[in-house]
Amino acid sequence: MEKVVAVIMVGGPTKGTRFRPLSFNTPKPLFPLAGQPMVHHPISACKRIPNLAQIFLIGFYEEREFTLYVSSISNELKIPVRYLKEDKPHGSAGGLYYFRNIIMEDNPSHIFLLNCDVCCSFPLTDMLGNFPVPCKTLYTYQYDSPNINQMLVTVEAHKRYSGMGTVLVSAESANQFGELVADPITKELLHYTEKPETFVSDLINCGVYVFTPDIFTAIQEVSTHREDQANLRHLSSFETLQSPTSRALPQDFVRLDQDILSPFAGKKQLYTYETMDFWEQIKTPGMSLKCSGLYLAQFRYTSPDLLAGGDGTKSASIVGDVYVHPSAKVHPTAKIGPNVSISANVRIGAGVRLIGCIILDDVEVQENAVVINSIVGWKSSIGKWSRVQASSHIYFAGLADAQPYFSRPMETTTQSSELLSLVREAVIVEDEVVVINSIVLPNKTLNVSVQDEIIL
């Protein structure tokens, strides 16, 4: 029986700076989205892969920061999950190669590689192609569910070809991602460019891959070539100036995009699988709100038991997709949703209204307070009749068929001033105070209203 392993790249404390201030005290991969740590969503997707032997998390956080979570998730999913700490950053492909002996312990036939800060439906089994072709035509399309409108290609996506790997792609128009060109018939990756300055294609790299063990040979070739280049003593000064990247990068630092995808494109080694479902990158606090909503919508089909319900009689009135931790206490007169995640030991008072927000552990939201499009940090308190929200022109609605619920300003904003309010740890917002589109750093007490400010 062929075994499969999964590797999830989680980065380290020097990465994910755009996610600050949320990642100052909590590793970004452990920040909760839809009530679960960010890394939990790709791990849960990996669990659905047939013949999965192990899941590896690779990064350069201290091991103690992941020990408790790795132990808990291994017991919950009944599958080994291990955290492997890099001694230094080795790059997205170099980190994989650094732990190659551990990854190959079970002699897997395929290796999934995922980035932790990707939000999507993770069609991993479809990428691998563990279902038969129903007829002799090359491609046949079917709709798996009219609710999510996801088009699945019923072909053996990766196994049909003898290539080294398959890349998950999505149709987007954005040059801040890797763009690629694929053969429309064979789906072979023909050309790849990382963050091009001009338009290349409307297909982008989603940061999810499946490889055969041949990927290790390819990475080794890059390292060997880089070493040979460094040892060449007859390079002219002109040639040296023309190849600064080769001289600047260490031999063991290998990037998956520039060093593997680009040079191997068009050589019948890499293929693509296009997802028709949602896809986002979780780079900023505002994107964490959006992606939390997307995962909540996905729970309708994957984990409906995690979604709360209530009609306002014996329990709070629930609108749309809402997650409430079992230890949270929510007053029956509160109205929650859509797109709300309430974490452990939260206390929600009478008449509270929550829309499009993440409420973290040990928060108290007192009577008749309103929280809209905001993140309320650990152990904070929102006073009676207070209001914490983004700018009033943001439009809120339930996620319909797993589509984003933010208006275009929220989708396109990437700076720290994006349209949300962020209240960090142990912040007290006193009664009848309004906080609009502001960031409040830890251990502050607000007794006056603020708008468009950063409270240090």
**Does residue 119 belong to any structural domain of this protein?**
yes
**Does residue 240 belong to any structural domain of this protein?**
no
Total domain count for the chain? 2
Query: In the β-sheet with 450-451, what is the strand arrangement from edge to edge?
Result: 317-318, 335-336, 353-355, 370-372, 387-389, 434-436, 450-451
Per-residue pLDDT at 356: 92
**Does residue 224 belong to any structural domain of this protein?**
no
Per-residue pLDDT at 99: 93
Tokens found for residue 103? 């990854």
Please determine, for residue 140, whether its predicted confidence score (pLDDT) is greater than 80: no
Please determine, for residue 150, whether its predicted confidence score (pLDDT) is greater than 50: no
Please determine, for residue 157, whether its predicted confidence score (pLDDT) is greater than 80: no
With tokens 């192990």, the residue in question is 54
Please determine, for residue 198, whether its predicted confidence score (pLDDT) is greater than 70: no
Residue 219 to residue 111: CA distance in whole angstroms = 14
Please determine, for residue 153, whether its predicted confidence score (pLDDT) is greater than 70: no
Asked if 317 and 265 sit in the same domain, the reply is no
Per-residue pLDDT at 155: 38
Asked if 322 and 202 sit in the same domain, the reply is no
**Arithmetic mean of pLDDT over the chain:** 80
Asked if 264 and 312 sit in the same domain, the reply is no
Task: Give the side-chain half-sphere CA count within 13 A for 30.
Answer: 19
Asked if 182 and 296 sit in the same domain, the reply is no
Per-residue pLDDT at 373: 92
Listed residues 229, 244, 271: the one ending a domain = 271
Per-residue pLDDT at 386: 95
The mean pLDDT of 40-60, rounded to a whole number, is 93
SS3 170: strand
Q: What is the pLDDT of residues 233-276, one digit of tens each?
A: 445 555 555 555 445 567 778 888 888 888 888 888 889 898 88
**Does residue 157 belong to any structural domain of this protein?**
yes
With tokens 């206490």, the residue in question is 329
Q: What is the pLDDT of residues 103-132, one digit of tens each?
A: 999 999 999 999 999 999 999 988 887 333
Listed residues 271, 306, 341: the one ending a domain = 271
The mean pLDDT of 404-422, rounded to a whole number, is 42
The mean pLDDT of 212-229, rounded to a whole number, is 82
Q: What is the pLDDT of residues 14-32, one digit of tens each?
A: 665 777 778 778 889 999 9
The mean pLDDT of 207-220, rounded to a whole number, is 91
Residue 107 to residue 365: CA distance in whole angstroms = 52
Asked if 265 and 395 sit in the same domain, the reply is no
The mean pLDDT of 183-192, rounded to a whole number, is 84
Per-residue pLDDT at 339: 94
CB neighbours of 408 closer than 8 A, spacing ≥ 6?
none
DSSP E strands: which ranges in 189-316? 189-193, 203-211, 270-274, 279-281
* Contact assessment for residue 276 and residue 407, using Cβ atoms and an 8 Å cutoff: no
- CATH number of residue 75's parent domain: 3.90.550.10
Asked if 330 and 264 sit in the same domain, the reply is no
Per-residue pLDDT at 340: 96
Alpha carbon 436 to its chain centroid, in Å, reads 27
Pick the closest to residue 11 from 88, 82, 72, 67 (CA basis): 88
Asked if 267 and 353 sit in the same domain, the reply is no
**Does residue 355 belong to any structural domain of this protein?**
yes
**Does residue 249 belong to any structural domain of this protein?**
no
Asked if 261 and 114 sit in the same domain, the reply is yes
Percentage, residues of the chain above pLDDT 90: 45
Asked if 333 and 388 sit in the same domain, the reply is yes
Per-residue pLDDT at 176: 57
* Contact assessment for residue 274 and residue 379, using Cβ atoms and an 8 Å cutoff: no
Please determine, for residue 389, whether its predicted confidence score (pLDDT) is greater than 70: yes
Structural domain that includes position 131:
4-215+254-271
Alpha carbon 28 to its chain centroid, in Å, reads 10
Asked if 296 and 433 sit in the same domain, the reply is yes
∠ at Cα 20 (17, 24), nearest 5°?
Answer: 100
Tokens found for residue 319? 């609108």
- CATH number of residue 389's parent domain: 2.160.10.10
Signed CA dihedral, 166, 168, 171, 174: sign only:
negative
Per-residue pLDDT at 319: 93
Pick the closest to residue 355 from 304, 298, 398 (CA basis): 398
**Does residue 276 belong to any structural domain of this protein?**
no
Residue 381 to residue 379: CA distance in whole angstroms = 7
Asked if 404 and 446 sit in the same domain, the reply is yes
Residue 449 to residue 432: CA distance in whole angstroms = 8
Which carries the bigger pLDDT value, residue 197 or residue 5? 5
Instruction: Report how far apart, in Å, the C-alpha atoms of 101 and of each of 95, 97, 107 are.
Output: 12, 8, 10
Residue 361 to residue 432: CA distance in whole angstroms = 23
Listed residues 246, 271, 296: the one ending a domain = 271
Asked if 12 and 158 sit in the same domain, the reply is yes
Please determine, for residue 410, whether its predicted confidence score (pLDDT) is greater than 70: no
Per-residue pLDDT at 409: 33
**Does residue 298 belong to any structural domain of this protein?**
yes
Full-model pTM: 0.82
* Contact assessment for residue 440 and residue 446, using Cβ atoms and an 8 Å cutoff: yes
Q: What is the pLDDT of residues 293-315, one digit of tens each?
A: 999 999 999 899 999 988 878 88
Q: How confident is the model at residue 9 (pLDDT cuts 50, 70, 90)?
A: very high
